[in-house]
């Protein structure tokens, strides 16, 4: 027995050297979307939160959201966060800044395809993608290419007491932009109907130009150029509750679906 002990110990060390290394990645990658706060809170006027972008980046490298006081639209791609403000300016955001709502995923596309049609609009693109995805699953969707004309928006920062979002945007809080002939990236998500209090059912997309000089929340676009579409199906979603004191003052029983349609 004594003679075989050494080889067994050696074998055990070798097995662990191989498998233990496999089980210890530097960063934990999940196939879930991670979201901080929910859409109904934003609709009710909870615009602030305590989630830092440094913390958010532990849960994804691709995403959408907003900023505290409703100061601009958020776009995250390749682990970089940008703020797109009401005055049309674009700003790289440090990890120490905080958000009141955001949702992110580690983007690992499951399939890639091209969509090309003369006069392709946002609605036509959504129809085309809808045919290739499962209706009751969550998807992160990245679209790249050149767009001929874009209609987008970004909100002006609000002051307390914050009004409900639909009222705020309808009374001067929303600034609209038109861009022409720009190359860039659309960061989008598709959410199924069961997400209606938590997120926005259907497609939701923000855009940023390749030169990082223009962007916003997308209402519509048109293009004659081919677009590359990458889709990443999530296994599900993790919701982190908003940790700001305003969250606990909310009445989440109210049905805010009409307000959601107004703001989208």
Binding stretches for Zn ion (CB under 5 A): 217
129 or 154: whose CB is closer to Zn ion?
A: 154
Q: Where are the beta strands (DSSP E) in 69-138?
A: 73-77, 80-84, 90-92, 98-99, 102-105, 111-115, 120-121
**C-beta of 14: minimal distance to Zn ion in Å?**
52
**C-beta of 188: minimal distance to Zn ion in Å?**
10
**C-beta of 220: minimal distance to Zn ion in Å?**
13
**C-beta of 40: minimal distance to Zn ion in Å?**
15
156 or 217: whose CB is closer to Zn ion?
A: 217
Rounded distance, CA 63 to CA 61, Å?
7
217 or 256: whose CB is closer to Zn ion?
A: 217
Q: How many CA atoms lie within 13 A of 131 on its CB side?
A: 7
User: Which residue sits closest to Zn ion, CB atoms considered?
Assistant: 217
24 or 217: whose CB is closer to Zn ion?
A: 217
Contact between residue 231 and residue 109 where contact means Cβ atoms under 8 Å apart: yes
**How much of the chain is in helix, strand and coil states, percent to nearest 5?**
25, 40, 35
**C-beta of 203: minimal distance to Zn ion in Å?**
11
129 or 263: whose CB is closer to Zn ion?
A: 263
What's the burial of 5, exposed, middle or buried (CB within 10 Å: 0-12/13-18/19+)? Answer: exposed
Handedness of CA 34, 78, 127, 182 (dihedral sign): positive
Neighbours of 14 (CB within 10 A): 10
30 or 157: whose CB is closer to Zn ion?
A: 157
**C-beta of 216: minimal distance to Zn ion in Å?**
8
């Amino acid at each position: 027995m004594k003679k075989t002990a050494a080889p067994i110990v050696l074998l055990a060390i070798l097995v662990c050297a191989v498998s233990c290394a496999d089980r210890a990645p530097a960063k934990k990658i999940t196939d879930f979307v991670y979201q901080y706060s929910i859409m109904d809170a934003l609709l009710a006027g909870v615009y602030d939160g305590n989630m830092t972008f440094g913390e958010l980046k532990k849960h994804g490298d691709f995403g959408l959201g907003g900023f505290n006081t409703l100061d601009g639209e958020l776009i995250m791609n390749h682990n970089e966060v940008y703020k797109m403000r009401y005055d049309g300016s674009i700003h790289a955001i440090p990890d120490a800044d905080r958000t009141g709502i955001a949702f992110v995923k580690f983007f690992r596309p499951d399939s890639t395809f091209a969509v090309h049609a003369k006069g392709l609009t946002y609605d036509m693109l959504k129809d085309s993608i809808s045919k290739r995805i499962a209706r009751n699953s969550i998807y992160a969707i990245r679209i790249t290419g050149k767009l001929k004309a874009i209609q987008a928006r970004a909100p002006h920062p609000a002051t307390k007491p914050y009004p409900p979002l639909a009222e705020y945007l309808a009374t001067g809080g929303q600034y609209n932009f038109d861009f022409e002939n720009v190359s860039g990236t659309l960061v989008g998500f598709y959410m199924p109907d069961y997400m209606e209090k938590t997120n926005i059912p259907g497609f939701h997309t923000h855009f940023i130009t390749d030169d990082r000089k223009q962007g916003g929340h997308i209402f519509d676009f048109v293009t004659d150029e081919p677009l590359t579409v990458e889709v990443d199906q999530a296994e599900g979603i993790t919701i982190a509750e908003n940790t700001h004191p305003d969250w606990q003052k909310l009445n989440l029983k109210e049905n805010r679906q009409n307000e959601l349609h107004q703001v989208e």
